[in-house]
Amino acid sequence: MNKMFSFPSRIADTDYLPSIQFPDKLYHNMARIGTGNQGKLILDRFIVFEGIDGAGTTTQIRLLAERCAQEGIPVHTTGEPTENCIGKTIRRILKGEHRVHPSTMPFLFAADRNEHLYGEDGILSWIEKGFWVLCDRYIFSSLAYQTIENDYPLVRELNDRFPLPRILFYLEVPPETGIDRIQTRETKEIYEVLSFQRKVHQQYRKVLSVYKNSGMEIKIFDGTAPMESIHEEMWNFLKKFRY
Ligand code: TYD
C-alpha cells in the first residue's frame, strides 16, 4: 500500500457486517456473495444508477423514489459526488474553480465514497434502518470516468474495497444525446465534452462486462425511451425484490 495514501486498511467482508443490526426483513436475500462470484460483498436494497452525463439517472431516481413513497416503501435517495466536504471539493474541481492533477481525482472520489458509505448518515446507516438506498453514481462512475486519464488498475484498486449494490441500473444513451441534454445547464463541468463522453461511454461497456458475473443484478435500459416507460420497466424489474 502506498504510504502517501492512508485509507483505513482494507475492510474484510466480516469486519463490519456483524456490527450492523440488519432488520430481519432486510436480511432476506442479503448480503454476502461467495467467492464463486468474485468474492464481493453485496448490499441488499442498495440500488445504483449509472450512465454518462445526461443519461437521465437523476430523473429516474426521482420517479422511483416517488413510486416507493406511494407504495409505502422506505427509501433514501443519495448520490456521488456527495454534499459532504469532500464531495463539495470535487464539485468545485468539476466546475473548474480548482485545478488538480487528473491522478488526484480517483483518490478524491474514493475518499468521498468511503465517507458516503461508512460515515455518519451514510449509506450503511440507511440500509441498517431498513431503507432502500437509491444512489446516483457509485464505483462504476470512477471506473468509467477516472480510467480515461488514469490506469484502470489504480482506479480498480481504490474501489475494490467497497461493497457492490444489489442492483445496478445502467441508462444507455449515445454520447451525442447525453451532451444535447445537458447543453441547457448553466455551468459546464470539465467532463461535459463530447470527446470525453464518448470515451466514458466506451469505458462503461467494459465496466459492465467486468461485473457481469459478480452476483450483482445489472439491468440496462434504453435511456432514449420516454422517461415514464423506463420507469415502468424499472418498477417491474424491482417487483421481484419486494417482500
Ligand atoms: P453528476 O451525476 O452529473 O452530477 P450533477 O448532475 O449534479 O452534475 O456527477 C458529476 C460528475 O461527476 C459527472 O460528470 C460524473 C463525475 N463522476 C466521476 O467522474 N467519478 C465518480 O466516481 C463519480 C461518482 C462522478
Q: Catalogue all structural domains in the chain, each as residue range(s) with its CATH number.
A: 43-239 (3.40.50.300)
Kindly report, residue by residue over 105-154, the tens digit of the pLDDT: 999 999 999 999 999 999 999 998 999 999 999 999 999 999 999 999 99
Q: pLDDT band at residue 239, thresholds of 50, 70 and 90? A: confident
Q: Residue 145: CB partners within 8 Å, gap ≥ 6? A: 191, 200, 203
**pLDDT tens digits for range 176-196:** 999 999 988 877 899 999 999
Task: Give the model's confidence band at 37: pLDDT under 50 very low, under 70 low, under 90 confident, else very high.
Answer: low
Give residue 124 CA to ligand 1 midpoint distance, Å: 21
pLDDT in tens, 224-238: 999 999 999 999 999
The verdict on the CB of residue 53 being under 6 Å from ligand 1 is yes
Ligand 1 atom at minimal distance to the Cα of residue 145:
19
- Residue type at 127 in one-letter notation: I
Pocket test for ligand 1, best of 50, 88, 145, 149 (most atoms within 8 A of CB): 145
What would the DSSP string read from start to end of 228-242?
A: HHHHHHHHHHHHTT-
Atom of ligand 1 nearest to the CA of 142: 22
Instruction: Report pLDDT for 2.
Output: 39
Ligand 1 contact via 137 beta carbon (within 6 Å): yes
Whether ligand 1 lies within 6 angstroms of the CB of 50 is answered as no
Which pLDDT score, from 0 to 100, does residue 156 have?
96
Which one is predicted more confidently, 187 or 218? 218
pLDDT higher than threshold 50 for residue 1: no
Return the bridge partners of 42, or none: 164
Residue 90 CA to ligand 1 centre (angstroms): 9
201 lines ligand 1 (CB under 6 A): no
CA of 109 to the centre of ligand 1 (A): 9
Count of Cβ atoms closer than 10 Å to residue 85 Cβ: 11
Provide the pLDDT for residue 39: 67
C-alpha cell at 120: 455518519
pLDDT at 27 over 60: no
pLDDT recorded at residue 117:
96
pTM for the whole structure = 0.86
For 43-101, the pLDDT digits (tens) are 989 999 999 999 999 999 999 999 999 999 999 999 999 999 999 999 999 999 999 99
Residue 41 confidence class, pLDDT cut points 50, 70, 90: confident
Interval between CA 51 and ligand 1 midpoint (Å): 10
Expressed in angstroms and rounded, the spacing between residue 163 Cα and the centre of ligand 1 is 19
Write down the pLDDT at residue 186. 77
What sign does the dihedral 57-60-62-67 (CA atoms) show? Answer: negative
Answer whether 148 contacts ligand 1 (Cβ < 6 A).
Answer: no
